[in-house]
Amino acid sequence: MSSQPLELNLDIRPRARFELIDITSMVQSQVGDVFSQFRKSVFCSLHTTAGYLEQGMCARLGHSAHQLDPFIRAVQRIFPPDAGYSHDRLELRDELTEQQKAVEPTNADSHLTFMGAGLRNCVTYINHPHEPVHFIELDGVYRDQRRRRRTTVMVYDDEDIVYRKRIQVPVASRHMIDAVNLKTTQNGLFEQIEEGLLLYGVECGRVDIRLAPEERHAGLTVNEYETLLMRNDLPEVLRDPLRYMMRRGKHLIQNPGTIAGKTLGYATFDLIHLYNELLDTMPIGRSVIDWVISALSSPASRVLRLKRDISLLVSNAGKGGTGHIVQGTYQSPILVQHQPASGGTRSLDIVIRRFGR
């Protein structure tokens, strides 16, 4: 008989703006080696500038901070800080009070790096107790103030699919590139999920939201739905990532070298220099470097490593012990499309999984 899921909530105080934090070590220091007692774990970030990579990607990087660090830094080169992002022009942010503007971080680069590196709010791992799982912090310190971060870890043995449903989400837009907030009530997404949780008595589990197989030119992420970020900064990078990087960042070139034949199509002096620099200094493997570089010269569908699915953790902690979706204050499921949808709707497949029964 499988054990009931075990939930742990960890408070984190980052020491730097960008930091890799070993969550498995934190858990083991607090409650012992629970990862040997359960088959799987869900790691859930409650933030939009800090999250996790999928287990498969971490395996490609050897589950090593030594390789994970340069990979994230490579993506950060595409989105340099303080580069004039619309999101960071606080005088345009009508939703903020003057008091809030005084303390609001200018962190558009961290939001874009989160999406560009393929970070997720919620990931599921098969437990290998000796492999670290890193909480990737992109905006941990602002004006010498350390942020307070929170992450939830749920370990469990078994899961059962109790609910499946396909829904249509309105995404009508005149814009070629657009982002749709799936948390708004007119979409009805969360209302249908909550009905499923109540109907099947799911107290601990996971909700998976996936684009239907026939959907094209779109992806999903969980991040902050802030209008200037989603309507200005995000479409700008999707239209022309190479030009975006060149305009936002400083030129990288001094003495360009040569690169392999298959990357000649990417060639500009700055891009050649970046490619050679990554090969020379970053022990992350040529295939990963090729992805970083090719993304800059690829169709919009590849630029931000947008996924076709996202996951949301379900917990019974608090709120009367009933199952509810675990989300941070500023987190929203977001559908990003880089071509308008035929008929003005997109099809999403919803699956609810119940843990530990």
Assigned domain for 1 exists: no
The pLDDT profile of the chain, 357 residues, written as one tens digit per residue, is 457 899 999 999 999 999 999 999 999 999 999 999 999 999 999 999 999 999 998 988 888 898 889 889 888 887 888 888 999 999 999 889 999 998 899 999 999 999 888 899 999 999 998 899 999 999 999 988 999 999 999 999 999 999 999 999 998 877 778 899 999 867 789 999 999 999 999 999 999 999 999 998 899 999 999 999 998 988 887 776 666 666 665 433 333 343 343 333 433 445 555 656 666 655 556 666 665 655 555 544 444 567 899 999 999 997 767 899 999 999 999 999 888 888 889 999 999 999 985
Assigned domain for 149 exists: yes
Structure confidence at residue 285 (pLDDT): 60
Q: What is the CATH number of the domain that holds 152?
A: 2.60.120.460
Total domains in the fold of the chain:
1
Domain that holds residue 35: 6-355
Assigned domain for 219 exists: yes
Structure confidence at residue 299 (pLDDT): 47
Tell me the three-class secondary structure of the chain, residue by residue: CCCCCEEEEEEECCCCCCEEEEHHHHHHHHHCCHHHCCCEEEEEECCCCEEECCHHHHHHCCCCHHHHHHHHHHHHHHCCCCCCCHHHCHHHCCCCCHHHHHHCCCCHHHHHHHHHCCCECEEEEECCCCCCCEEEECCCEECCEECCEEEEEEEECCEEEEEEEEEEEECCCCCCCEEEECCCHHHCHHHHHHHHHHHCCCCCEEEEEEECCCCCCEEEEEECCCHHHHHHHHHHHHHCHHHHHHHHCCCCCCCCCCCCHHHHHHCCHHHHHHHHHHHHHCCCCHHHHHHHHHHCCCCHHHHCCCECEEEEEEECCCHHHCCEECCCCCCEEEEEECCCCHHHEEEEEEEEEEECC
Q: Which residues pair with 123 in a beta bridge?
A: 43
Assigned domain for 195 exists: yes
Structure confidence at residue 64 (pLDDT): 87
Assigned domain for 284 exists: yes
Residues 345/166, Cβ–Cβ less than 8 Å: no
Burial of 173 (0-12, 13-18, 19+ CB in 10 A): middle
